[in-house]
Each structure stands twice: as structure tokens, then as C-alpha cells.
Structure 1
Amino acid sequence: MAPARGDLGVLRAHNRRVILNHLRRLGPVSRTQLVELTGLSSASITGITAELMGDRLLTERSVGEAGSSGGRRPILLDIDYTAHYAVGLKLREDRIMAVLTDLSTAVLAHVTEPLDGHDPHEVASQIARLCKALSRRARIDPTHVIGIGIGLSGVIDALQGNVVHAPLLGWRNVPLAPLVRERTGLPTHIDNDVNSLAAAERLFGHGKHSAHFLTVALGRGLGSALVLGGELHRGRRGGAGEFGHNVVVPDGRPCSCGRRGCLEAYTSEPALLSQFQERHPDLAPQITTVNELVTLAEGGHDGAASLLADAGRLLGTHLSYLVNTLDPELIVIGGEGTRLGPLFFDPLREAVRARAFDGLADDLPVVIDAWSDDDFTPWARGAASLAVQCAFDFGTLAEGAGMTHLR
């Protein structure tokens, strides 16, 4: 019995997605190779790749002379990364960091400016203005922008585009994505900022070939994102991964969330700096930044070195609990806190290996994805991945893409 029309549409969308993601992971391959890789028939590959080329999602490339042994050169298919664009924004309580990228999330233009205020309507209007400015700066056709991604700290309902709770902005139940979509005419996706980093890792980063991995963001705060079975796991209300707010010392140090004793209150950069200043008041006037703390530790100051080691060990211990629970293939640590260096991360790795159950972490890579001290574009680039991933996850460009309202 022939499938109903709706079933054929679902199947075709699935096949488009399969082809796109094989090319994303492997790079250019021939149609014959796609038949072998996907198990689809030659006729299906021919028809679907023709559709994808018509949508400017695929392009053909000829193998160069060095790759040819004579005769007709094989034609390879590849993602047409430069035919479409996405906007990514990292929203903080005091500023917005914005980038425009191609489909590989390569940054083509970027801008950072102070946040005009915390009124959601004003923020949405500022985002719309930045989108328009980025298109002008990159000198691209705004109708080729496929969507907007926004990452921010807090509990986010990504499906509804709703900010459930963002303490730093004072927001509860703010429909940010619909507000931005009304002003831009673009599909708009929002998520927790650490989830946006994981989306980037999943598409083109260290997690490109992993189905199960953890992304940990360390810096002003501490958070994690879970990719399970190749998909971001957000939980019932969008709060999955908030392990930085696990209480490790009841009634302990104050945390940014308003509670006391959270893991973040002992391992984040502000927490490390304040702990050192409390323990060494004589050095507090000289050690006012994390970079100065790390330099002091690397110079042999026992107090600074032991503080970093103890904090790294504490974080590694709690990462081992996640390893025991999820058995990931990979842990990627990013964020400004990667500057803490080996004095922090060597004890962290040792603790993960020592405390994980029955060798689960013996060959587990813990990758430190180092950022420069003043480079915040990875946050915004991660947010752009929220829009880019739709082209790969749904096998098509979102209907209505293109900045029709901003021309």
C-alpha cells in the first residue's frame, strides 16, 4: 500500500536531512558515495540532491587534477555554506554581542554595544536594528538571512521561544522570540547560552562526530549542556544542565542565583578571585583580576596555586557524577574560564578519572576549548548555530526566511 502524501513528505524531509548531515560531517562526496553512505537509491539521491541544489543548500565541486587519475573528473557534492547567513546574539544584562555568519558559522561581521535597557520590547527593537546593521556591515543581501539565534543565561523554553526566568535581566515568562520575529520577519530561536555553545560544538566543533557529549561553560558562571543521541537535551522546562547550581556546601558561600553553597560559588572566576582576596587581604589590592591571580599562581604563590587546584578538583569531582550518570563520549570545556590553565585543569582531569565509576573516564577526552581573554564572539557564534542547525536538522530553510521587514 502506497504511503499517504503526508508520509511521503515526512520521508523526503528525513532523507534531505540525512544527506545534509552526512555532507556536514564528512565534507564533499560523490552521489555514488552518498548512495553507499545513506542506503538510499540512486534515483532518490539524484532527485533529492537536485532539490537541495535548487534551494542553494548544496553545490557541485570538481575534483582537482591531483585527485584525478585521468578521464572525466568526478563531481562532488558539498554544502553551499556561503549562500545563506544567520545572525547570532549573546544577550547579557549590560550588552549585546552580535555576529553574522554563513552556514559554517564562520563570522563575517560582528558588533558589541551596550544594552539599551531591560524592557523586552526595547531589547527586541535593538536586536532588529543590530540585524540590519550587520547585513550592511557584511555587505550581504538581507533576504539570504535564514534566521536569528539568541543565547542568554537562564531557563529558556526553546520550543515556545519564551524566557522562563533570566535572573540577570529580571525577566520571567518573556516571549522574546515572538517579539523579535514580529520586528524582523525572521525565524527566531532562543536558548540557554550554554546550549547554544553545545549547538556549535555539535555542528562543526569537537562534538561533530559524537552522539553523546557534555559542553561545560566556565567563566562568570558555571553551566553545562547535554547532547544525548545527537540532540540537545533541555529537560521538561529548559533547565537541564544547571549543575553549577547544585549545592555542594549547605549554607556556604553566596551564589549569583541568590542561594548559598552552589558549585558555581566555588569554581567560577568571580568566586575564585573573591576567595583569594578573602584569604590574602594583604594581596587583595594587587590581585584584582583573574589573569593576575593565574599569573601569581604560575609564579609559585602557594595560596593561589592551591586555590586553583582545589577548585579544579571540586569541579572535576562533580563532572565525574555526570559521567557516571550519562556515560558521555566527550567533555568540552569552553568559556572565559579556560584561561585558568593547567593548575586548574590538570587536577580537574585527575578528579574526573579518579572518581568516575569503574573506568568510565579512563579514555574519556576532556577538551579545553581555549578562548582569548577578550573574545566573546564564541557566545554569539554559538547563538547563530541555533538558526543554522535548523537547515541541517529539518533538511530545509525555514519558511519566511529573509529579512523582508528590514529592507
Structure 2
Amino acid sequence: MTRTKGDPSALRAHNRQTILNHLRQLGPVSRTQLVELTGLSSAAITGITAELIEDQLLTEQSTGEAGISGGRRPIYLGIKYSAHYAVGLKLREDRIEGVLTDLSTHVLAHLVEDLTIHDPLQVAVQIHTLCSKLYRHARIDADHVIGIGIALSGVIDALHGTVVHAPLLGWHDVPLAPLVRKCTGLPTHVDNDVNSLAAAERLFGHGKQTSHFLTVALGRGLGGALVLGGELHRGRQGGAGEFGHNLAVPDGRLCSCGRRGCLEAYVAEPALLAQFQAQHPDLSSSVTTIPALVALAESHPGAAGLLRRAGQLLGTHLSYLVNTINPELIIIAGEGTRLGPLFFDSLRKAVHESAFDCLGDDLPIVIDIWPDDDFTPWARGAASLAVQCAFDFGTLAKGGDMVHR
């Protein structure tokens, strides 16, 4: 978002953003504390917080205790998370997973619908219908919905809301955000699904107090998202983080992208199952799921060895990213978080041993374990794409798109 130096409206929006993000990170504080935290004058804090209360972004939540010398008790301000809503949608090749959340991305309603037609305009129409169903399920006023976030696998131009390349849907240069906005009348934000997870972690998750972190999504595929200086780093074409397609084994296993030897072809869940079944054909009919493979690994040396080697391989490649960006934190999410201690103990060891000098020492690696068959983290991450605009721009984005900075 471009701001003109000295532009009063831009300065006011920046100050609103500053106040909202302090409250998001710290919780309720008084106006006096906001003066100390932000460096703004008392008059500025009074005026801006009055605007935010009028916009139903802030509320006076409680009264603190008076100081030792008496005087008025301070009034604490907090974000009014329940006053506005966002829709989050995860697009897969065969279905749409949707949630409706409040501004804290707490899920209020969720739905799954089959996706049988990939025509972009028809998908936009289906999204409009699904949104209406979510509003009815949650019994909320659609006028309080601030926007829609859509997450999908592929290379996404988030600035313009264009799907540059989504192989699973067969899409190239699809202006998805404008299509959905035209159907729904709501600001629409489209991004890579792993970026959406990182956005959620940045707002309210493990990365809430962290400026530089890496989110890794492991499951059917493997991808990463970078938050650097508190901002998502998307790269020139929105393709930053596709380290799952780095070469791991020259002329190795065939990857879903059509190339051979990609890291994903050795550590993603389908790849792990395929490797085990090829190595142990006598067990291929009984080991068809990741939970079955993890359970068998407790007593089967072949399964245990496969998980250890895969964890070590992923950890080694993560160490290259540690050497490159020096993150404060690594968060691993996705369905693959169920791979268990054999996999993740090997991963942690490889990161710490392979990273240069001290870069891997005491580096937190959080395994954000997902419940089995729970789609809501993906869709909730998508909702955060819309929610973050309220915090990044200091205002609600009703009636038009606001792009990410």
C-alpha cells in the first residue's frame, strides 16, 4: 500500500494500524499505556480510539485499579473481535472447504461442498452461494462481513488476486479475486494456501510475537511460507516458498510436478506410503494410510527407518533455509504433523546439526499438530487473509479490495 509522505489520511491510517496491532499482540490496555507504547500524543490516542470505537473495532472492556495516589481508574480498551466477520475458503480440486470466523479467526460455522466444475466463473458463483449458507448457519448479519479470503495450492499473485498457475484446478492467469468480488460484492483476497497458514500464525498463532519465521506445510505436498520483518514474503511472482520442489535426489522418484528427485517426492505423505509399499509389497494392502504406517513403525524396522530417513532429509533441507534467512522460529503444520516422533526427532536433529555455526542452536521448531480429518485450519488460514487487512490497514475494507503491502 503506497502512502504519500505527509498525507494526513495516510498518517491517520498508520496510527490506527499501530494501535490495533498493539492491542492484538498485548490484549487490553489503557489509553495512557497506548501513549507510552506508541509514542503518540494523548490527544491523538483519544481521537483515534474514539474513531475505532465508532467503527466497532475497539470496545471499552474493563476498568483497572486506581494508582497509589488515587485518581480515576483507567479504562482498558480491547479489540471488538465479535463485531465483524470474515469468510475463509480452501479450494481443492474436488471440493471447497469454508468457514465463517470473527476477527479473532474463531470459527463460527463451517461447510464442505463438492467442486465438480472448474470453470472460474462457475466457481465464483458457487462461492457466493456457499457464503450465503455460512451466514445462515452462523445466524449473522451479512452486512458485518468484512471480506473473503481464498487459499489454494499454486503460484498466486496476491497483489492482483490472480491465480498465476494452479495445476490441480487447471488454471492459468485466472483473475479469481475480481470474479468473486463481482459475485459477492465483498473485498476478496487470494493467496497460496501455505501463505494463508503463515498469515494466521502471524496474527494469532505461534508467530504472533515474532518478526522472522518460517511456516512449513507438510501433508499431501510440501511447501513453505516466509514472514520477514513481520510481513509475508511472496517473491516476484508469488512463488516464494516452493522449496518442496528443490532437487533432493538427482534423477530420483517422480514428483507430482512432473520432475524427478524433488524433496516432496520423498517426504510428503503419499510419497512415504508409496516408498513403503514398494519396499514391502507383502504389507502394501494393510498399510494404506499414514496412521497405519506410523503405528507399524513402532515394531517394524523398515517403517521406522523410512520415517527417520525422511525426517532427516527434510531437516537437512530446512537447515539450508535456516542458513539463508536465519529465522527466529520454524512452525510445521498440515496433515503431516501426525508423522510422529521418529520423523520429527530426526528432523530436529538434522536442522540443529546441519545449520551453519550457531544458527541452529536453540532454534524453536514447533509442530502444530492438527486433528485427523480437520480441514478448518486451512480455511481458517484463508479467513485470516481478510482479517489481516483490518490490522494492516487500520480500517475495514468494505466495498472494495485492499491489497496486502
Tell me the number of residue pairs that the alignment of Structure 1 and Structure 2 aligns.
Answer: 397
Mapped to 2, the partners of 1:283 and 1:79 lie a distance apart of: 54
Contact 2:219 2:336 in 1 (8 A): yes
Residue deviations 1:342-376 (CA, integer Å, cap 9, x gap): 11000000000000011111111000000011101
Contact 2:193 2:378 in 1 (8 A): yes
Tell me, in whole angstroms, the C-alpha distance in 2 between the residues paired with 1:6 and 1:90: 40
1:257 partnered with 2:257: yes
Contact 1:146 1:401 in 2 (8 A): no
Report the AA paired with residue 371 of structure 2: S
Following superposition, the deviation at residue 9 of structure 1 comes to 1.1
SS in 1 for 2:82: coil
Aligned-pair distance for 1:7? 1.1
In the alignment, what sits opposite 1:309? 308
* Distance change >3 Å, CA 179–CA 42, structure 1 → 2: same
Q: Supply the distance in 1 between the matched residues of 2:63 and 2:112 (Cα, whole angstroms).
A: 41
Amino acid at match of 2:191: D
Match of 1:126 in 2: 126
- 2:339 is aligned to 340
* TM superposition shift of 1:260: 1.1
TM-score, normalising length: structure 1: 0.95
Distance 2:382 2:152 in 1: 9
Instruction: Provide the rounded CA distance (Å) in 1 between the counterparts of 2:322 and 2:400.
Output: 39
Unaligned runs of 5+ in 2: none
| CA distance, structure 1, for counterparts of residue 116 and residue 63 of structure 2 | 51
> Which residue is 1:111 aligned to?
111
What SS does the aligned partner of 2:203 have?
A: helix
Q: Deviations over 1:202-248 (max 9, x none)?
A: 00000000000000000000000000000000000000000001111
CA RMSD of aligned residues (A): 1.6
Contact kept, 8 Å, 1:313 with 1:350, in 2: the verdict is yes
Deviation (angstroms), 1:116: 3.0
The equivalent of 1:42 in structure 2 is 42
Distance in 1 (alpha carbons) for counterparts of 2:73 and 2:38: 23
1:328 aligns with 2:327: yes
2:89 corresponding residue in structure 1: 89
State yes or no: 1:32 paired with 2:32: yes
Distance in 1, matches of 2:213 and 2:281, equals: 41
In the aligned structure 1, how far is the partner of 2:62 from the partner of 2:293?
53
* Structure-2-length-normalised TM-score: 0.96
Matches within 5 A, 1:276-287: 276-287=276-287
**Alignment check: 8 A CA contact 1:86 1:146 kept:** yes
Counterpart for residue 199 of structure 1: 199
| % same residue | 77
Measure how far apart 1:29 and its partner are.
0.1
What residue number does 1:297 align with?
297
Which deviations, in whole Å up to 9, do the C-alpha atoms of 1:96-147 show, x marking residues without a partner?
Answer: 1000000000000000111131111111111111111100110000000000
- TM-superposed CA distance for 1:72, in Å, is 4.7
Aligned to 1:230: 230
In the alignment, the residues of structure 1 paired with residue 138 and residue 100 of structure 2 have an alpha-carbon distance, to the nearest angstrom, of 8
Q: CA deviation at 1:62?
A: 1.4
Residue 61 of structure 1 is matched in structure 2 by 61
For 2:115 and 2:38, how far apart are their aligned partners in 1? 47
Match of 1:135 in 2: 135
Q: CA deviation at 1:71?
A: 6.8
SS at match of 2:206: coil
Distance, in Å, in 2 between the alignment partners of 1:297 and 1:21 is 45
Question: 1:255-301 deviations in whole A, cap 9, x for unaligned?
Answer: 11111110000000000000000000011011111110000002x21
**Distance in 2 (alpha carbons) for counterparts of 1:351 and 1:6:** 50
Is the 2:147–2:398 contact (alpha carbons within 8 Å) kept by the matching residues of 1? Answer: no
One-letter amino acid matched to 2:303 = A
Partner in structure 2 of residue 405 of structure 1: none
Write the distance in 2 (CA, Å) between the matches of 1:274 and 1:83: 48
Q: Please give the secondary structure, in 1, of the residue aligned with 2:190.
A: strand
Q: Which amino acid aligns with 1:306?
A: G
Task: Give unmatched runs, 5+ long, in structure 1.
Answer: 403-407
Displaced runs of 4 or more, over 6 A:
67-71
Please tell me the residue identity of whatever aligns with 2:100: L
Between the aligned partners of 1:219 and 1:274, the Cα distance in structure 2 is 14
Aligned-partner residue type, residue 334 of structure 2: G
- Map 1:343-354 to 2 at 5 A: 343-354=342-353
Displacement of 1:74: 2.3
Q: Is the 8 A contact 1:143 1:401 kept in 2?
A: no
Superposed counterparts of 1:213-228, under 5 Å = 213-228=213-228
CA distance in 2, matches of 1:260, 1:340: 24
Equivalent pair of 2:64/2:74 in contact (CA under 8 Å): no
Tell me the equivalent position of 2:146: 146
- 1:189-208 per-residue CA deviation (whole Å, 9 max, x = no partner) reads 00000000000000000000
Query: CA deviation digits over 1:293-341, x for unaligned, max 9?
Result: 000002x210000000000000000000000000000000000000001
Specify the SS of the correspondent of 1:165. Answer: strand
Paired residue type of 2:301: D
1:379 aligns with 2:378: yes
